[in-house]
Structure 1
Amino acid sequence: MRLSDDERDEAINALSEHVRTGRLDLDEYGTRSAKVTAARTRGELMPLFADLPAPHPSVLTTGARPAPVRSMPMARFGPGLVPIAGLIALVLFFTVARGMWLVFLLPMIVLLVAGRKR
């Protein structure tokens, strides 16, 4: 998960607290804070706080993982429904609806519904 600017600031504040309590010297603080500033993901922050007790940035202590992305049936099958609707419209045009051109609106309606469900 990518880090926000606020999460990086919180990590630097946690490192500052470790300097105030004497757990880190200024050189190590400079090195670690530069790595925090360059960090893009939570995984890049973990080694910087692995050898330090609390406080840690909340992004590391909450243990929150991103929610799994659930694929919706319309998202999986939606793109395949449009050509099927086109074929159905074509069959209807030449059989039941005999020349009724409005049946060709069916694929567009399916496309709109499938696009809205995403």
Structure 2
Amino acid sequence: MTDLTDPSGASLRLSNDERERAVSAIQAHAAQGRLSEAEVQSRVQSARAAVTRGDLAPLFADLPGGVDLDGPGAGAGAGAGGGAGAAYAAPAAAAQPARDPYATPSEPYSRPANRRWGLAIVSVAPFVALILFFVTSTVWGYAYSWLWFLLVPITGAIVYGADGGRDRDRR
């Protein structure tokens, strides 16, 4: 169990996983009838907005047990003794490791190399367009030389639009 009132740990920043464990503990106390619906909503909102462990201390000050922020998948409670502060289960998603947003089961993480090449190509496109603009304008004039600058958005569309929006669906 984490001592939220300990001054040495009160200034430690919370992770999203720790906030969700605190929310689970609040909901478990509500399920046992210790908190009204209005109190639950207020405390859950405060827990999700908490920045440090000290910000969570007032939320559990009047509740038995506490909250375990340190253990993976651990919930609130006074320990193995059971009783009023029995351990509460954290959500299953909290215990899972962070998943790579670009990897699929059949495709290992390989996006950074592709992104570096795409970034290089899109970064060079304006300079290529500028060089082609000056070369063709001296040979044929300025009438249609400006069309080389369309190379910039076309390059971006080809490089970043090639996946058909798969990245947007995963966010």
Taking structure 1 as the reference length, the TM-score comes to 0.51
Partners of 2:24 and 2:134 lie apart in 1 by 65
Residue 23 (structure 2) aligns with? 12
1:56, distance to aligned residue in structure 2 (A):
1.6
- The answer to whether residue 72 in structure 2 is matched with residue 48 in structure 1 is no
Structure 1 or 2: more helix by fraction: 1
1:85 to 111, 129, 132: 129
RMSD: 4.1
Partners of 2:91 and 2:22 lie apart in 1 by 5
Q: Deviations over 1:29-57 (max 9, x none)?
A: xxxx79843446xxxxxx61515466222
Residue 145 (structure 2) aligns with? 103
Residue 67 (structure 1) aligns with? 101
Structure of higher RCO (CA pairs closer than 8 Å, 6+ residues apart) = 1
Q: Is the 8 A contact 1:86 1:106 kept in 2?
A: yes
Letter in 1 for 2:151: V
Q: 1:110 to 1:39 in 2, by over 3 A?
A: farther
Partners of 1:90 and 1:20 lie apart in 2 by 73
Letter in 2 for 1:60: A
Q: Deviations over 1:2-21 (max 9, x none)?
A: 85xxx84x751345437868
Partners of 1:61 and 1:89 lie apart in 2 by 56
Structure 1 residues not aligned, in runs of 5+: 27-32, 41-46
Matched pairs, number: 97
